[in-house]
Structure 1
């Protein structure tokens, strides 16, 4: 009797694909966008549609990453090779007397586990979990699918009075530590374009800038990271001294947007025309119109840093998309 393989007809929306593959929609989008894990079709309305074959491949990729492999290591394998690898893993676990893959599930479950550790003030357990997820997912997917959503959830819980300021601060501190620790494992080529990342004077929230810097490094930029609250003249000086091709700024929640907008405009004026300036973060949305008027690119969320390279000479500023930081932050 002839058995056909999974259907190649695009028919399932992302929610169905996520449920059947065992991934969260966030992780699915990251794997699709950054690693081209699958290539779904689009409906007439622009909705992603996945085939049974796509879903089976995603399911196998998830299984391949559970024991600790990075998605970047296994995404190049064919679906048949992934199925063989999953079978080998199952056999190895059975021989070792293990019923399930070790610790990590998927990013969505990881975020829930991290929240439980935050509520319990379990700093050791939280840091271990975050480091594990960063190792398995890779730096940029970890930021987009775990770190940023976790900080958003903690921020929401703080606003609702269900978490303390101490819990919010310990989460931010550990996320920052894990991201910084993961950066040395990503090396840009010697001839990579240079980028300066900072927050402008008056913006003291650093994490969004750190996320942008880490993602840029992972995408092949040589980054000079300056941290928070830098005057325009200092940022411009560093950009000139390092030969940077551009500057990326993070703005989260300016209480007085006027002075920060003035700083950003001053930086644009201080930079040569051939150096791009892009501003992102939750606070960028409220400044977008005025920034674009000044010839400054705006990313309300973390740019796809492959697209960011399109801002190198001979391109005009434009909006970019992708996860940067949640809108609701203190």
Structure 2
């Protein structure tokens, strides 16, 4: 396959940062798709900077469509130039399944160098929403299910420390480069750790929000002061647990009423308590984290933040 761009000379061209903004695919992933798989072939300036035409952007959108259908990135190149009506191939069922198994084993044996390599490798090859949906979310759910029967605090805390470091570094630089609304993220009282909060922070940052995480569950009565002092546009609480009836029925709605910004919940608690919270002042965003973060924008528009 030729790697030379064939765009007409008068075609409008976009730098990689703009293409990343338009498509939601970060620049590291775009470069990996080009180098490893030849999925896209941007034009280059004399200094080597990548420039993308509109047909490149359309091609990226088709790549995302295939990935979201479960097709491994290694198989997408053979599908891109086929007619749009081509039947979606049956995904390689062992691809994501084997990657989940590999990731879970790597976490459980505490192989941190390999864990770091897997983390960065998948974020380079796939959009973040795909990585969270297909890999991290299922693995964290599997681990937490296992830990309810056979607790392993060493593995849990090690994984939390690893993700806190990786996500924290990403947030540090992302918060400096975006002017988006600030989301205040915190865990709920019964959640034994910040795994869901860390994943939500990763997704929110990718969608252009500034994110402030709190390491420990903040008392609900302190949220108004936290919002005011941090200039937060929204509070998002996460939990992989059901949380207590009193917290859900009384404390949480009262906290939402006391705030002048939206209060949302995501993670397993949003699914388990949806019927009880629906229609009240607390916004349930679901346990699918990419979808939950996608729901923030219309919510912030309704509240007048955007």
Class of the TM-score when normalised by the shorter of the 2 chains: 0.5 to 0.7
Q: Which residue, 32, 36, 61 being the options, matches 1:67?
A: 36
User: Partner residue of 1:149?
Assistant: 138
Q: Structure 1 residue 294: deviation in Å?
A: 2.5
Offset from partner CA, 1:280-317 (integer Å, 9 cap, x none): 1102233223322422210221234333110125369x
Q: Structure 1 residue 231: deviation in Å?
A: 0.9
The number of residues matched between the two structures is 236
Q: Name the SS of the counterpart of 1:197 in structure 2.
A: strand
Matched, 1:307 2:288: no
Q: Name the SS of the counterpart of 1:174 in structure 2.
A: helix
Q: Name the SS of the counterpart of 1:110 in structure 2.
A: helix
Matched, 1:192 2:180: yes
Q: Which residue, 233, 243, 248 being the options, matches 1:245?
A: 233
Offset from partner CA, 1:112-145 (integer Å, 9 cap, x none): 2222323544232222222322233344433333
Partners of 2:183 and 2:156 lie apart in 1 by 30
Matched, 1:177 2:177: no
Offset from partner CA, 1:147-174 (integer Å, 9 cap, x none): 222212223444565x855444434443
Partners of 2:95 and 2:170 lie apart in 1 by 19
Partners of 1:164 and 1:77 lie apart in 2 by 46
User: Partner residue of 1:78?
Assistant: 59
The Cα RMSD (Å) is 4.1
Using the size of structure 2 for normalisation, the TM-score is: 0.61
Contact map agreement 1:204 1:228 (CA 8 A) in 2:
no
Contact map agreement 1:65 1:136 (CA 8 A) in 2:
no
Specify every segment of 5 or more residues in structure 2 that has no aligned partner in the other structure, as ranges.
1-21, 43-51, 64-73, 79-93
Q: 1:25-174 maps to which residues of 2 (within 5 A)?
A: 64=33, 67=36, 76=57, 78=59, 107-159=96-148, 164-174=152-162
Contact map agreement 1:251 1:282 (CA 8 A) in 2:
yes
Using the size of structure 1 for normalisation, the TM-score is: 0.57
Partners of 1:312 and 1:171 lie apart in 2 by 32
The change in CA–CA distance for 1:130 and 1:216 in structure 2 (over 3 A counts) is: same
Q: Name the SS of the counterpart of 2:143 in structure 1.
A: helix
Contact map agreement 2:190 2:239 (CA 8 A) in 1:
no
Partners of 1:312 and 1:172 lie apart in 2 by 29
The change in CA–CA distance for 1:121 and 1:220 in structure 2 (over 3 A counts) is: closer
The change in CA–CA distance for 1:314 and 1:134 in structure 2 (over 3 A counts) is: closer
Contact map agreement 2:253 2:281 (CA 8 A) in 1:
no
Q: Structure 1 residue 261: deviation in Å?
A: 4.3
Contact map agreement 2:286 2:292 (CA 8 A) in 1:
no
User: Partner residue of 1:14?
Assistant: none
Q: Name the SS of the counterpart of 1:279 in structure 2.
A: strand
Contact map agreement 2:262 2:303 (CA 8 A) in 1:
no
Partners of 2:213 and 2:254 lie apart in 1 by 20
Contact map agreement 1:249 1:278 (CA 8 A) in 2:
yes
Q: Name the SS of the counterpart of 2:214 in structure 1.
A: strand
Partners of 2:58 and 2:266 lie apart in 1 by 35
Contact map agreement 1:249 1:279 (CA 8 A) in 2:
yes
Contact map agreement 1:118 1:171 (CA 8 A) in 2:
yes
